[in-house]
Amino acid sequence: MIKTRFTELVGVEHPIVQGGMQWVGRAELVAAVANAGALGFITALTQPPYAEYRQAIIESGIKIVETAGNKPQEHVTEFKKHGIVVVHKCTSVRHALSAERMGVDAISIDGFECAGHPGEDDTPGLILIPVAADKVKIPIIASGGFGDGRGLVAALALGAEGINMGTRFMCTKESPIHQLIKEKIVANDERETELIFRTMRNTSRVAKNAVSTQVVAMEREGATFEQVRDLVAGARGKMVYATGDADEGIWSAGQVQGLIHDIPTCAELVSRIMRDAEAIIQSRFEGMMSGARRQAAE
Ligand SMILES: Cc1cc2nc3c(=O)[nH]c(=O)nc-3n(C[C@H](O)[C@H](O)[C@H](O)COP(=O)(O)O)c2cc1C
């Protein structure tokens, strides 16, 4: 068991979060993550409009909400009025600090490695997490590029109170996407992502495929959003998960694909991460320390 300020804040067993994932963060995945002792979030983007969704969250007694994007104030104010814990996900220290001022309870901070929107600063987690930990007072969850026990220990060492994982949870037995896409994630290595919408300053890290490569090439030639709109249509991306054809449209995945080699259940995944993290701390690190102590004593 690893107890942190975050596990205390939200009352979960393990310092592991499954962040919002459009089309993927549905009840079956979130329930499996929760039953594994971690914190899972159902994704609102699967079912807008926001204000009504927010009201439904409050009325149904949900206790913890993840927000993202640059204008969370109206959500934060409303959720805090009802005693709901708000975890705000962002990609820069300045946005983390402004969310802290707005009254959120924890920050999930996404490094450049992450799937989805990494922002425009291109700061990898190895820098972003400790810089944020130095400046933000509320608990920080490290996000982007995490998939195993080594990552969890590294995040804790950098000053975070836990990890958030998207791509890794997407590739589990309970994840509601086609088996062939899970197998594609396992087959992919860390180079199989692409950054689309760079030229529009709305960068998104997605799985590299025929469509993403075409979009990036068109952007290089100066294409506008209108010109790539059909290629990047959400309906096409959704079809990827339904049909298992990885080239059908744009779908999100991070560089952590290079660390994903299997399709476990969420329970297997979470317990493996915790077991490995504890072994690193108790055996590997403690072994290094006691080896050094022995040498000093000799
Ligand atoms: C398939 C997929 C869909 C995602 N959709 C959203 C989304 O709708 N909103 C959001 O804030 N983040 C979204 N993300 C980002 C994740 O919440 C998380 O921040 C990210 O996956 C962390 O990086 P990782 O994939 O390296 O773990 C998505 C990620 C994936 C893999």
Q: State pLDDT tens for residues 220-267.
A: 999 999 999 999 999 999 999 999 999 999 999 999 999 999 999 999
- Tell which atom from ligand 1 comes closest to the C-alpha of 69: 11
Q: What is the pTM of this model?
A: 0.97
Contact 151, 145 (CB under 8 A): yes
Cα distances (Å, whole numbers) of residue 220 to 26, 214, 223? 35, 10, 7
pLDDT value of residue 193:
98
Give the ranges where 197-264 is alpha helix by DSSP (H): 210-220, 225-232, 234-243
Residue 283 DSSP one-character state: I
Contact 113, 125 (CB under 8 A): yes
- Tell which atom from ligand 1 comes closest to the C-alpha of 145: 26
Measured in angstroms, how far is the CA atom of residue 203 from the centroid of ligand 1? 13
Measured in angstroms, how far is the CA atom of residue 298 from the centroid of ligand 1? 51
Structure tokens of 88?
Answer: 């705000």
Look at residue 15 and tell me whether its pLDDT is greater than 70: yes
Contact 16, 270 (CB under 8 A): yes
CA-based Rg of the chain, rounded to a whole angstrom?
19
Q: What gap in Å lies between CA 193 and CA 251, rounded to an integer? A: 10
Ligand 1 binding residues, C-beta < 6 A: 19-22, 24, 43, 45, 68, 89, 110, 113-116, 143-146, 164-168, 170, 252-254, 256
User: DSSP assignment of 9-29, as one string?
Assistant: HHT-SSSEEE---TTT--HHH
To test ligand 1's pocket by mutation, which of 252, 259, 273 has the most ligand atoms within 8 angstroms of CB?
252
pLDDT value of residue 46:
62
Q: What gap in Å lies between CA 218 and CA 227, rounded to an integer? A: 8
Measured in angstroms, how far is the CA atom of residue 116 from the centroid of ligand 1? 5
Look at residue 47 and tell me whether its pLDDT is greater than 70: no
Q: What gap in Å lies between CA 297 and CA 100, rounded to an integer? A: 47
Measured in angstroms, how far is the CA atom of residue 142 from the centroid of ligand 1? 13
Residue 161 DSSP one-character state: S
Rounded to 5 degrees, what are φ and ψ at 246?
-65, -15
